[in-house]
Amino acid sequence: MPYLFTSESVSEGHPDKVADQISDALIDNFLAFDVDSKVACETLVTTGQVVLAGEVKSTTYLDVQKIARDTINKIGYTKGEYMFDGNSCGVFSAIHPQSPDINQGVDRGSKEEQGAGDQGMMFGYATNETENYMPLALDLSHRILIELAALRNENKDITYLRPDSKSQVTIEYSDDNIPQRIDAIVVSTQHDDFADDDTMLTKIRKDIVDILIPRVVAKLPEAIQVLFNDDIKYHINPTGKFVIGGPHGDTGLTGRKIIVDTYGGKGAHGGGAFSGKDPSKVDRSAAYATRHIAKNLVAAGVATEVLVQVSYAIGVVEPMGIFIDTYGTCPFNMTDGEIAEKVSQIFDMRPFAIEERLKLRSPMYSETAAYGHMGRTNRTVSKTFSQPNGNSVTLDVELFTWEKLDYVDKVKDAFGL
């Protein structure tokens, strides 16, 4: 019997994502001047206020208040009427040194023997239902908000948009797990106040359906375009009004959108957040490494859908184990346990090996903090960072290294494909 599956996304202006982006901007700035920085930084944002808290071990000094303000302004919170803007909000820092009890379990005489920064389990997932090997409902939810942000920044076709927004897509699947059609789309977007509420609702709905959605569809592969139809149920700003939003409407915290950050409810999640953590924290680095594994396995033809789990003990170098679930989609006669054994031989999952393989000690994290950490485009960008003393550094930074299909040939060789 056909079934429905739903995933959601939130925009860069969502309060939790504002917090994530501030935390990751701090990570990038610390790593730009000290690649060995150890950072765990949480951010809270609310009406007119930002609170930074966490632990840092680094040789560099940063103006964390300026970094927070610059991030907020870049997102688009630049007006006093939002009750939260980068130029006037208060920024309170309660960042303090990292615990030596934790550090002694991570730092070793040899970097290769670096222990895991915490215990826990991390998951990676990939499916062949999209070109970027991501679940379709989540991919579409992200695309809707990326395009909505583009419209807001263009300020031409739609001029009333404010930074906060959310989306949700429901897809009907067949019994054999093939997407058949889009059943429903939800878009809630913050907006300027209108003189008349009825006019407001009518215009916002028309603009979303007639301007936003066609722009999204035009950028999709033809196989996905055909899933859009005239019977889609649209829920546009279903509460009726969304003027008050962002950190003034809801308090935001780092790490509260971990399902948006990963696979939209498909696969599994170990529970650990990503943003604000340097790569010695396996919550982050191992989640990227398992995504890298899952994507390369699917691309190599080991399965059409794969879930990868790895687990660690704090301070211990080798992982506790690697688990693979192919959901019965492996086309050849090999058990998931046998696949896991081969995976452990192909991919070195020691924390330092992950950092080296995926180049995780570079300041690549600000770009991950909105619209998902997975399924993004691997590319190299130039980034400039400045210190309070006037020193600056410009670096070429490779982004989303865990999305590379650089192990497909190795996987094929190992599995005889």
Q: What is the pLDDT of residues 307-351, one digit of tens each?
A: 999 999 998 999 999 999 999 999 999 999 999 999 999 999 999
Number of H helices, E strands in the chain: 13, 13
d(CA 298, CA 329): 10
pLDDT score recorded for residue 99: 65
pLDDT for 108: 52
Is 342 within any annotated ligand binding site?
no
| pLDDT of 177 strictly over 80 | yes
292 or 116: whose pLDDT is higher? 292
Average pLDDT on 273-292 reads: 97
pLDDT exceeds cutoff 80 at 129: yes
- Residue 16 annotated as part of some ligand binding site: yes
- How far from chain centre, in Å, is Cα 39? 18
If pLDDT is split at 50, 70 and 90, which confidence band does 110 have?
A: low
Question: Cα dist. 168→10, 58, 189, 243, 265 in Å?
Answer: 9, 40, 12, 20, 12
> Is position 277 annotated in a ligand binding site?
yes
Tell me: is residue 17 an annotated ligand-binding position.
Answer: no
CATH class of residue range 120-127+281-415:
alpha beta
98 is in an annotated binding site: yes
Q: Looking at the predicted structure, is the pLDDT value of residue 109 above 70?
A: no
The CATH number fitting domain 3-9+136-245, selected from 3.40.50.10860, 3.30.70.270, 3.30.300.10, 3.30.450.20: 3.30.300.10
322 strand-pairing partners: 310
Per-domain boundaries in the chain: 3-9+136-245, 120-127+281-415
Question: Does 3-9+136-245 match 120-127+281-415 in CATH topology?
Answer: yes
pLDDT higher than threshold 80 for residue 261: yes
What is the rounded distance in angstroms from the CA atom of residue 202 to the CA atom of residue 197? Answer: 9
Q: Are 387 and 60 in contact (CB under 8 A)?
A: yes
CB atoms < 10 A from the CB of 398, how many?
Answer: 14
Pick the closest to residue 150 from 218, 83, 251 (CA basis). Answer: 218
Find out whether 410 is annotated in a ligand binding site. no
Q: What is the pLDDT of residues 19-54, one digit of tens each?
A: 999 999 999 999 999 999 999 999 999 999 999 999
Mean pLDDT confidence for 392-417: 97
Is 250 assigned to a binding site? yes
Does 273 belong to an annotated binding site? yes
Annotated binding residue at 205? no
Confidence bin at 97 (pLDDT 50/70/90) = confident
Q: In the prediction, which pLDDT does 384 show?
A: 97
Is residue 192 a known part of a binding site? Answer: no
From 79, 117, 403, 32, select the one nearest 246 (Cα to Cα). 79
165 labeled binding residue: yes
